[in-house]
Amino acid sequence: MLRISIVDTPTQRRLVVEGKLISPWTTELRTACDDAKADLKGRSLVVDLKNLTIISQEGEHLITELMNENVKLQCCGPFTRLLLRRLSHRARALKEGAQ
């Protein structure tokens, strides 16, 4: 199960993601991000991953896509921080390969 909550402030729209980022929930997060980007009105989009318990390979691919779209990601625990660092390297390699 995946829960996505939206927290709006004057400077940012935060999507708080809780639970398991696995199929079919990756599609739900993709849709939520696309919907959120359509109505930012100059604010930044932040995806808060602090409360994820499982991230599948499909979830990793989605996170990499979000990084390449310049979506800000926030995490807390050492596992998620290490995963984001690894995915950040992957995202950069994909960008450089596309150029």
* Boundaries of domain holding 68: 2-98
Closest CA to 54 of 66, 45, 63, 42: 63
- The CATH number that applies at residue 32 is 3.30.750.24
Percentage of the chain with pLDDT > 90?
Answer: 62
- pLDDT tens-digit profile of 22-50? 999 999 999 999 999 998 989 999 999 98
Please answer whether residues 2 and 25 qualify as being in contact, where contact means their C-beta atoms are separated by less than 8 angstroms. Answer: yes
Q: Which amino acid is at 76?
A: C
- Work out how many domains the chain is built from and give that number: 1
